[in-house]
Amino acid sequence: MSVLDALHRRNSHARLNTPAPDAEQLQGILTAGLRAPDHGRLRPWHFTIIAGEAREQLGMTFEQALLLSKPTATDAERQKARLAPLRAPLIIAGMLKAQENPKVPRVEQAVAVGCALHSMQLAADALGFAGIWRTGTYARDPLVISALKGSPGDEIIGFLYLGTAEGEKKPLCPVDLENCVSYLAS
């Protein structure tokens, strides 16, 4: 499969099961991500791998974060928060650790982390796995960021859930170049 084919058929898959990438495959996935564009070679990222029982611990952190922001959360909302990290056997949390740099603004550093996560998803797909990138309120929650060894000012750019696709993949949306692209030429 060519890189162009992989990009053209990239898709998210919400239903993921075991097996997840093994240690050697994960190393290749992470290495692919660390080749993402990175102006100034700042390496403004940190990736936390969440697997096994650590997913349950992260779910408990999600529930705590929910209760801090919404003390009246229902039992169903609490359960949904607790179970969220169990939707896949492996999660890669991509965290922005922005650095002050006059030539590389924070937004550009955040995009670098996003590019790394995208490359990781493509690498996982090339190895026969499936994934979905999620964010949501937990990606911006200080309690969750702290639990993932982040510091004040850090930001989770995305949670990349990885595993083996279960069920049918959702159909790809058509590409609409006409409404998304304009050309300036002389």
Q: What is the mean pLDDT of the chain?
A: 95
Q: What is the CA radius of gyration of the chain?
A: 18
Average pLDDT over residues 66-81: 98
Query: Which has the closest alpha carbon to 134: 109, 116, 117, 149?
Result: 117
**Per-residue pLDDT at 144:** 98
Q: Is the pLDDT score of 184 beyond 80? A: yes
**CATH superfamily, with its number, for domain 3-180:** NADH Oxidase (3.40.109.10)
> What's 150's DSSP letter?
-
Q: Is the pLDDT score of 170 beyond 90? A: no
Q: Is the pLDDT score of 186 beyond 80? A: no
Beta-carbon contacts of residue 158 (< 8 Å; ≥ 6 apart): 93, 94, 113, 114, 117, 133, 134, 135, 139
CA atoms of 46 and 95, how far apart (whole Å): 5
Among 26-40, 71-85, 133-147, 170-184, the least confident range:
170-184
Q: Amino acid identity, residue 171?
A: P
**Per-residue pLDDT at 95:** 98
CA atoms of 13 and 121, how far apart (whole Å): 11
**Per-residue pLDDT at 67:** 98
Going by pLDDT thresholds of 50, 70 and 90, the confidence category of residue 172 is confident
Q: Amino acid identity, residue 14?
A: A
Q: Is the pLDDT score of 58 beyond 90? A: yes
Helices (H) and strands (E) in the chain, counts: 7, 5
Q: Could you tell me what percent of the chain has a pLDDT over 70?
A: 100
Task: Please name the residue ranges forming H helices in the chain.
Answer: 3-8, 23-33, 54-69, 75-83, 106-126, 142-147, 177-180
CA atoms of 113 and 133, how far apart (whole Å): 13
Going by pLDDT thresholds of 50, 70 and 90, the confidence category of residue 6 is confident
Query: Which has the closest alpha carbon to 30: 89, 103, 93?
Result: 93
CA atoms of 25 and 20, how far apart (whole Å): 9
Question: How do the residues of the chain divide into helix, strand and coil, expressed in percent and rounded to 5?
Answer: 45, 15, 40
Going by pLDDT thresholds of 50, 70 and 90, the confidence category of residue 83 is very high
Going by pLDDT thresholds of 50, 70 and 90, the confidence category of residue 157 is very high
The pair of structure tokens assigned to 35 is 């080749």
Cut 0.85: pTM above it:
yes
**Per-residue pLDDT at 3:** 86
